[in-house]
Amino acid sequence: GQQVMQIPQYQHVQEGEDFTTYCNSSTTLSNIQWYKQRPGGHPVFLIQLVKSGEVKKQKRLTFQFGEAKKNSSLHITATQTTDVGTYFCAGRNYGGSQGNLIFGKGTKLSVKP
Amino acid sequence: KAGVTQTPRYLIKTRGQQVTLSCSPISGHRSVSWYQQTPGQGLQFLFEYFSETQRNKGNFPGRFSGRQFSNSRSEMNVSTLELGDSALYLCASSYQTGTGELFFGEGSRLTVL
């Protein structure tokens, strides 16, 4: 079945350093979503990418969808302590229901002040 | 606009018991999905309901079941609990199925002793 792999599993950075998490799917995706889960919290939607090669920015966060629509990345510039949490990508197959939204296992980011 | 409400937030059960978890989606949302979150496995899809019909089911044993009512509220049930069922159970709602972002509840943390 479809798999969504996410690396790294953990990332420890000094405040002010950049951070990137990568997501790879075994199949072509119709779209990909990113979520952030703060410690003790629930996943919160960040963004959805639909088009091949799409790049979207949210302040210090840059999201990219690969040309083949099989990979994606999230880059955070100059991390802050408020960026702490686990970042999940979730890839969706073409057609079907929410069951086709497959989550990666997440990248847990810790930021040292 | 009220968010997704899950009850109970915490519960402790013993092996062999059963448990019912409840989820009230955001008003107007007709799709409700359930996920199991554990440290080792990340977010795993359990099932999705849309307009009272199960649209998709993940790879979980038959001990896991669910339903959706006419007001879109959903329940999931786990029978004959096992130690490995200890997890955070997250409910997510969306307006449609197969598209758009998921809005997650705070989750129900189940501990099986």
Mean pLDDT on A80-101: 84
Task: List Cα–Cα distances, A56 to A5, A20, A46, A53, A61, in angstroms.
Answer: 21, 14, 11, 10, 8
- pLDDT recorded at residue B23: 98
The whole-number average pLDDT for the span A30-57 is 96
- Residues B28-61 have pLDDT tens digits of 999 999 999 998 788 999 999 999 999 888 899 9
C-alpha distance from A43 to closest chain B C-alpha (Å): 6
**Whole-number average pLDDT of chain B:** 94
Three-state DSSP at A95 gives coil
Which residues in chain A touch residue B50, judged by CB atoms under 8 angstroms apart?
97
pLDDT in tens, A8-28: 999 999 999 999 999 999 889
Tell me what the pLDDT averaged over chain A comes to. 93
Give pLDDT tens digits for A93-110: 776 555 678 899 999 999
Cβ pair B45:A102 closer than 8 A: yes
Per-residue confidence (pLDDT) for residue B66, from 0 to 100: 97
Task: Indicate the DSSP class of residue B52.
Answer: T
> How close is the nearest chain A Cα to the Cα of B40, in Å?
8
User: Rounded mean pLDDT of B3-8?
Assistant: 97
Whose structure tokens read 């951070």? A19
Residue of A7, A38, A101, A108 to mutate, interface with B, max B Cβ within 10 Å: A101
Test A42 with B101 for CB contact under 8 angstroms. no
Within 50-79 of B, beta carbons closer than 8 Å to A belong to 50, 55-58
The pair of structure tokens assigned to A14 is: 């000094």
Asked if B45 lies within 8 A of A44 by C-beta distance, the reply is no
pLDDT in tens, B62-106: 999 999 999 999 999 999 999 999 999 999 999 887 778 999 999
- Contacts with A40 (C-beta within 8 Å, 6 or more apart), sequence order: none
Residue % of chain A over a pLDDT of 90: 85
